[in-house]
Amino acid sequence: MSSLGEVAESEEPPSLLTVTEAARLLRIGRTLAYQLATDYLRTGGTSGIPVIRVGRSSLRVPRWALLELVATGRVVRLRDEIDATSGASVAG
């Protein structure tokens, strides 16, 4: 029977990474990674590390969006901005 460690090593990487896991992959510090994630949310997805909010306080980095950032330098916009006055989605 396999040990838990062997199973974890043979599985595909998760689709959603924590900010700390993304920081390790980018080889940057945890604090900088959280600053970049916050920047992404603050700028509506124009700069920073692409993140989604899961629940009230958890941030997750889609693995595919991180790979796109690394491969092309392009920050992926994960969703359209919401117009605060009408609540309508606004393509940017």
Confidence of residue 11 (pLDDT cuts 50, 70, 90): confident
The CATH number for 35's domain is 1.10.10
Structural domain includes residue 29: yes
Structural domain includes residue 6: no
Structural domain includes residue 5: no
Structural domain includes residue 3: no
The answer to whether residues 23 and 32 touch, using CB atoms and an 8 Å cutoff, is: yes
Structural domain includes residue 74: yes
DSSP letters spanning 65-80: HHHHHHHH-PPP--SP
For the segment 14-65, what is each residue's pLDDT rounded down to a tens digit?
Answer: 999 999 999 999 999 999 999 999 999 999 999 999 999 999 999 999 999 9
Structure tokens at 79: 């969703």
In this predicted structure, what is the pLDDT of residue 10? 59
Structural domain includes residue 64: yes
The answer to whether residues 61 and 76 touch, using CB atoms and an 8 Å cutoff, is: no
Structural domain includes residue 7: no
Structural domain includes residue 36: yes
What is the count of structural domains for the chain?
Answer: 1
The answer to whether residues 66 and 17 touch, using CB atoms and an 8 Å cutoff, is: yes
| Single pTM value for the model | 0.72
Domain that holds residue 78: 12-90
In this predicted structure, what is the pLDDT of residue 21? 97
